[in-house]
C-alpha cells in the first residue's frame, strides 16, 4: 500500500483559505492584516543581572547588558481573573 506524498496547500493572490475566490468572503484571509500584536516589543527581566530587556520578534534571546540567556517575562498590567471551582 503506497502513501501519497504530502502537498502543502498553495495560496494564490485571488484565493482565500475558505475555498472561495473574490473579496466578498468574510472568512480568514491570508493578508495577515489583523496581527498588529506580533510587532509589539515584549519586556523581560534578565535572570542574572535583573536588567529590563525589551525584545521584538526575531531578536536573539539574550540580555543586552551581561549576555545571559535566561529571561523571565514580566507580569502583565492587565487584570486577569480566573474562576476557581
Ranges in the chain, pLDDT < 70: 1-3, 6, 12-38
Assign 38 to helix, strand or coil.
helix
- The CATH class of 36-73 is mainly beta
Instruction: Name residue 53's beta-bridge partners.
Output: 44
pLDDT for 76 equals 85
Strands (E) across the chain are located at 42-46, 52-55, 71-73
Answer whether 49's CB lies under 8 Å from 26's CB.
no
pLDDT in tens, 33-42: 555 566 789 9
> pTM of this prediction?
0.50
pLDDT for 65 equals 92
Amino acid at each position: 500500500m503506497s502513501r501519497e506524498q504530502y502537498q502543502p496547500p498553495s495560496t494564490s493572490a485571488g484565493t482565500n483559505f475558505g475555498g472561495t475566490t473574490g473579496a466578498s468572503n468574510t472568512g480568514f484571509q491570508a493578508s495577515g492584516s489583523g496581527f498588529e500584536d506580533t510587532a509589539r516589543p515584549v519586556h523581560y527581566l534578565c535572570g542574572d543581572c535583573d536588567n529590563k530587556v525589551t525584545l521584538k520578534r526575531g531578536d536573539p534571546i539574550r540580555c543586552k547588558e551581561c549576555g545571559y540567556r535566561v529571561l523571565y517575562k514580566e507580569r502583565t498590567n492587565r487584570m486577569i481573573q480566573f474562576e476557581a471551582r
